[in-house]
Amino acid sequence: MAGGALGLRLLLLAALCGVAAALWPWPRSVQGSPRRYCLGPAAFAFRHHAGSAAQPGCDVLDAAFARYRRLLFGAGPWPPPSLSGQHHESKDMLVVTVATAECNEFPTLESLENYTLTIDDDQCLLTADTIWGALRGLETFSQLVWTSAEGTFFINKTTIEDFPRFPHRGLLLDTSRHYLPLSSILDTLDVMAYNKLNVFHWHLVDDPSFPYDSITFPELARKGSYNPVTHIYTAQDVKEIIEYARLRGIRVLAEFDTPGHTLSWGPGIPGLLTPCYSGSRPSGDFGPVNPILNSTYEFMSLFFLEISSVFPDFYLHLGGDEVDFTCWKSNPDIQAFMKKRGFDDFRQLESFYIQMLLDIISAYNKGYVVWQEVFDNKVKVRPDTIVQVWREEKPVTYMQEVELVTKAGFRALLSAPWYLNRITYGPDWKAMYNVEPLDFEGSPEQKALVIGGEACMWGEWVDSTNLVPRLWPRGGAVAERLWSSNLTTDLDFAYKRLSHFRCELLRFISLLPVVISTTL
Amino acid sequence: MEPRALGPPGLLALGVLGSLLALGAQAQLAAAGPEPALWPLPRAVQMSPRLLQLAPANFSIGHGPNSTAGPSCSLLQEAFRRYNEYIFGSYKMHQDLAKFQVGTQLQQLLVTIILESECNSFPSMSSDESYTLTVREPVASLKANKVWGALRGLETFSQLIYQDSYGTFTINEANIIDSPRFPHRGILIDTSRHYLPVKNILKTLDAMAFNKFNVLHWHIVDDQSFPYQSITFPELSNKGSYTLSHVYTPNDVSKVIEYARLRGIRVIPEFDTPGHTQSWGKGQKDLLTPCYKGQKQADSVGPINPMLNTTYTFLTMFFKEISKVFPDQLIHLGGDEVEFDCWASNPNIQNFMKKKGFGQDFTKLESFYVQKLLDIIASMNKGSIVWQEVFDNNNELQPGTIIQVWKLERYASELSQVTASGFPAILSAPWYLDLISYGEDWRKYYLVEPLNFQGSDKQKKLVLGGEACLWGEYVDATNLTPRLWPRASAVGERLWSDKTVRDLLGAYDRLSRHRCRMLRRGISAQPLFVGFCD
């Protein structure tokens, strides 16, 4: 394709200008130049344009200005400007202007993130439709600044126009298999922002532990967490995470996975889980949420009422994956219920449960994301449901699954090729980078239904000791795939930039105190 | 979401097994409270149900009255202080508890060295690491022939102590008799592919001591960089290191060696030649073989040039320095993966081959080089370790040269051949920890039986031990520790404990708790599976 070849040539051209080496993810359009300006760290400031919709007091931008000043220049002291050699014009401010200021709001799936960055003789200007776009532009600006051997800060004459390819660019963390300290989560949010990822998918609870400290049902964490004092997320912790994410333009998508993956819910809510039977007697084990009791739905109504108000994002993730039918099958009450309802397939029972749950969530004016099994098992869902594709091969390949989901008119999120917890020897980021999310047979309308993807870091073998080096820079490969143009695919070019970016991350992360926590 | 139900049947089975184990471990933690988790498992352990309590303010570790070592033995003094810290460490605030305790107390651990202590020596392959530990009210006794055994016994003693559900430090009365199965239990780190800061190396030595490892195999230089700062040839690191701040100064090196000595760990440096030497060429002109493209000299260089006298003059001076800087009796000379293409391309080498009557057999040229090098090392009264190719290529070797087996294919038969030829062997092939995979790969490291090869008893005795290798292509300070621990711990137990200690269920339980203990001691060891540390 001609466009592809041209795109590649432009990329390589930009690479030669040196500027490019530092950019990750690669913007839509970059015009670099060897002309450079120096930045005086003591004097340099970020300023709101007089005509900007955001002015001082816009906390998202004010906090970002402070953050990026620190990331760019540290706390000083700085060497005096080098007097030797040629004189460079200096820039002492970046002016930021936005068209609308949603300073006290939360980013959404619909938030615009486009921006334009112009660094030339006349101006040093960042323009964006929204503060969220301004955040992305500030990150790019910070990646353009470089330091000479003498310690002088420079930025080259550059024009960048940029916008994301997909609106949903997520990272999943699992805090149930292993508890992750608050600091690990906050650090991850920082690095997500450096990668322009914008959704933190928080898989809060699962079979092994229930660390979410519910206000309505405190017994859930008291009985279901690893340690009800040290291994929980209090209401305050959750608030802090949501606000920290908001300030970085990141949505928090909370997942409370049911009806399977719920063993840890059981101790706190007696009667919630299905008692499994061994022959004619209860075996003492429990299975998925019990779908035949009214009390189940009363609990879910109350529980999700809390969740809907604690998590401001329009979407909740309701899980719905890997429901194991053996326990339901073993239980005579369930069998009787099935007969009464005329169900001959346990998928109908699952469907029954999920529809009840979806009705509850809809009543709270929330949208929802579900794992692909809900779609595969033909559960009737609302047309605006988002289906997350995670299975690589079965029942069909993940690209075929995306095709089917979008053909049915549902929006899709891709995760199958991006399970970061799975490790192999060598540079496995390349395979993740090479994935093309729209590489399936389908109409333009279908392709438009792919709203993005998520890198997933499941926690079976991951806790705060190994999270950071397993996430980064591998997660960066997914981030660029979801942000940059589909023509940005050159592996050598990516390798150069990603290596550079990794070293930048090391600097950032060591600037921030915690890399790896040794006390749990 | 997480592929619990996915993947090949083998993986599925492992997953299910893993879950069962995890449940078991949790149940036990919940029901029985913490118990001592010994890792690696000692030879003989007799535990009595009788419990003793330790009060941090009222417990001390000291020298036994008949010990040949006393307060002047700083190796032991330092160890006493260290283990006091490991045992009570972050729990200092509980000191007052002592006043309220009523049970029987353990007040002291007395450490007695029976023979000449070797307090100021360096450990060696023949160092005696055996010890006996008797825990009785009111004074426990640790006896060892040498300080090296005392260090191992202190580690075991610290592993016996746990906090009961009220936070009281508790120990069972016990008798332990222990000694290692193999004398050479090593970890290889690679500081050439990525530089490792000294503090990360010291941390690694700490963790090694927790696992009773006793050899740091320091693969210090390679193609990519030459971080060793030589006194005799400073240009080697000036030109060959990544940057001038990515070097190990003489002071750094002696710090590592002393830190290791205090923990009973030998430091064996590897200066791999004649291949893997690209970084040497930058600081030492004419050391490497110029490669040719047709009739013309190309830009590239190959292995060390084996036909020049200057090469051997250089090596003599260089290894003279190395043999002084590193006190261990052994030097690792590498010798792996020598590429013959460059030698073959070079007309001068071709002539030299002809003159020597080597024909086209470059293994003979390699052998020529290696023998000269081994002679140099022998003249300095040092012994040599080499990678298996040196043996495979039919080099004539001095008796006693140690062969390190690293190739995974048919490593058992390689061990068999090496030992049949009368050479001592070190096994690494199944323990390349840099080769990561998803899930619980420690199990396969654990189940390796090093002596499971065809051979006489005499041959088996020639296996000195093994090494877990963490090559540095994809490893630096950001991921070193969680990639090494607790996976290397599996190798640690295999090399220390009796051959019959192979029960995976028990190992999982002990290793999970050992991992949490390492974490408490500041080692970011990664989790074995789902769960948590107290």
Question: In this predicted model, what pLDDT tens digit does every residue of B115-145 receive, in sequence order?
Answer: 999 999 999 999 999 999 999 999 999 999 9
Backbone angles phi, psi at A369, to 5 degrees: -115, 140
**Considering only alpha carbons, which residue of chain A is nearest residue B527?**
A461
DSSP string, A446-504: HHHTEEEEEEEE--TT--TTTHHHHHTTHHHHHHHHHHS-TT---HHHHHHHHHHHHHH
Q: Does B14 touch chain A (CB under 8 A)?
A: no
**A contacts of B482 (beta carbons < 8 Å):** 465-466, 469, 516
pLDDT at residue B22 tops 70:
no
pLDDT at B4 over 70: no
On the question of pLDDT at A415 being above 90, the answer is: yes
| CA-based nearest distance A141→chain B, Å | 26
pLDDT at B30 over 90: no
Residue B17 pLDDT exceeds 50? no
Dihedral sign, CA of A446, A449, A450, A456? negative
Q: Is the pLDDT of residue B304 over 70?
A: yes
Give percent above pLDDT 90 in chain B.
Answer: 87
pLDDT of A254: 98
Would you call A460 a catalytic residue per the annotation? no
Assign domain B44-178 to its CATH superfamily.
Answer: Chitobiase/beta-hexosaminidase domain 2-like (3.30.379.10)
Closest residue on chain B to A230 (Cα): B534
Q: Does B100 touch chain A (CB under 8 A)?
A: no
Which residues 200-259 of chain B have a CB within 8 Å of chain A? none
pLDDT (tens digit per residue) in B513-532: 999 999 999 999 999 999 99
Q: What average pLDDT score do residues A362-389 get? A: 94
Average pLDDT of the residues in A243-253: 98
Cβ separation of B527 and A462 shorter than 8 Å? yes
**Does the structure show a pLDDT above 90 at A76?**
no
- Nearest Cα residue in chain A from B528: A461
For A207, name the nearest residue in chain B, comparing CA atoms only.
Answer: B530
Q: According to the model, what pLDDT value does residue B530 have?
A: 97
B175-209 pLDDT, tens per residue? 999 999 999 999 999 999 999 999 999 999 999 99
Q: Given CB atoms, is B409 within the 8 Å cutoff of chain A?
A: no
| Nearest C-alpha neighbor of B486 from the set B468, B473, B464 | B468
pLDDT of residue A87: 67
Q: In Å, how far are B55, B102, B105, B138 from B99, measured between CA atoms?
A: 9, 8, 12, 17
B34 interface with A at CB cutoff 8 Å: no
- Residue B97 has a pLDDT of 52
- On chain B, the residues whose CB falls within 8 A of the CB of A467 are none
For A151, A370, B192, B223, B228, the CA distances from B245, given in Å and listed in that order, are 17, 51, 14, 18, 11
**Residue-level pLDDT at B89:** 84
User: CB B4 to CB A518 under 8 A?
Assistant: no
Q: In Å, what is the CA distance from A215 to each residue of A30, A221, A255, B511?
A: 49, 10, 17, 37
Element (H or E) spanning B283, and its range?
helix B278-283
For B437, which residue in chain A has the nearest alpha carbon? A424
Annotated active-site residue in A322, A393, A445, A460: A322
> Do B530 and A178 make contact, defined as CB atoms within 8 angstroms?
yes
pLDDT in tens, B472-506: 999 999 999 999 999 999 999 999 999 999 999 99
Q: How confident is the model at residue A78 (pLDDT cuts 50, 70, 90)?
A: confident
Tell me how crowded residue B354 is: count the other CB atoms within 10 A of its CB: 11
Q: Which of A51-65, A203-217, B3-17 has the lowest mean pLDDT?
A: B3-17
pLDDT score of A82: 57
Q: Number of CB pairs < 8 Å for A and B? A: 100
Q: How confident is the model at residue B9 (pLDDT cuts 50, 70, 90)?
A: very low
Chain A nearest CA to B9, separation (Å): 14
Nearest to B474 among A179, A426, A518 (CB): A426
In chain B, residues with a C-beta closer than 8 Å to the C-beta of A520 are 519, 532-533
Q: What is the pLDDT of residues B498-511, one digit of tens each?
A: 999 999 999 999 99
Share of chain A above pLDDT 70, in %: 92
Crossing angle of helices A491-511 and A182-194, rounded to 10°: 140
Among A172, A398, A466, most B C-beta atoms within 10 A, so best to mutate, is A466
User: Choosing from B337, B396, B449, B473, which is the catalytic residue?
Assistant: B337
Which among A231, A426, A463 has CB closest to B527? A463
Comparing CB atoms, the residue among A394, A466, A515 nearest residue B526 is: A466
Is the pLDDT confidence value at A5 over 90? Answer: no
- Name the minimum distance, in Å, from the CA of B193 to any CA of chain A: 14
Residue B374 near residue B333, CB atoms below 8 Å: yes
Question: What is the CATH T-level fold of the domain B184-521, as seen in this structure?
Answer: TIM Barrel (3.20.20)
Contact A518/B437, CB-based, under 8 Å? no
Mean pLDDT of A207-223: 98
Tell me the pairing of strands B288-293 and B296-304: antiparallel
Select from B435, B437, B519 the Cβ nearest to the Cβ of A520. Answer: B519
Torsion of CA B200, B204, B207, B209, to 10 degrees: -130
Q: Cβ–Cβ of B438/A515 closer than 8 Å?
A: no
Q: Which of residues 494-523 of B touch A (CB under 8 A)?
A: 519-520, 522-523
User: A427: nearest CA in chain B?
Assistant: B474
Chain A contacts of B408, Cβ < 8 Å? none
Q: What is the mean pLDDT of residues B379-393?
A: 96
* pLDDT above 60 (res A443): yes
Distance CA B334, CA B190 (A): 13
Lowest mean pLDDT among A14-28, A185-199, A339-353, B462-476: A14-28
Mean pLDDT of B421-431: 98
Going by C-alpha positions, the residue among A470, A418, A458 that lies closest to residue A174 is A458
Q: What is the pTM of this model?
A: 0.91
CB-CB: which of B2, B481, B520 is closest to A460? B2
Name the nearest CA neighbour of A520 among A233, A202, A230, A236: A230
Taking CA atoms, what residue in A is nearest to B482?
A466
Give the mean pLDDT of A113-123: 97
Angstrom distance (rounded) from CA B379 to CA A198: 65
Contact A469 B482 (CB under 8 A): yes
Structure tokens at A224: 């279901």
Segment A425-439 shows an average pLDDT of 96
* Average pLDDT score over residue span A37-64: 95
Percent of chain B with pLDDT strictly greater than 70: 91
Residue B100 has what pLDDT? 53
Please report the residues numbered 63 through 92 in chain B whose beta carbons come closer than 8 angstroms to any beta carbon of chain A: none
pLDDT at A512 > cutoff 60 = no
Using a CB-CB cut-off of 8 Å, the residues of chain A touching B528 are 461
Query: Where are the domain boundaries for CATH 3.30.379.10 in chain B?
Result: 44-178
The reported pLDDT for the residue numbered B24 is: 34
Please indicate whether, in this complex, the C-beta atoms of A516 and B533 are within 8 angstroms of each other. Answer: no
Lowest mean pLDDT segment, chosen from A26-30, A391-395, B181-185: A391-395
Nearest to A465 among B440, B474, B524 (CB): B524
Residues with Cβ within 8 Å of A514's Cβ and at least 6 positions away in sequence, in order, are A183, A184, A187
Task: For CATH 3.20.20.80, list the domain ranges present in chain B.
Answer: 184-521
Looking at every residue in chain B, the average pLDDT score rounds to 92
Q: What is the mean pLDDT of residues A13-34?
A: 77
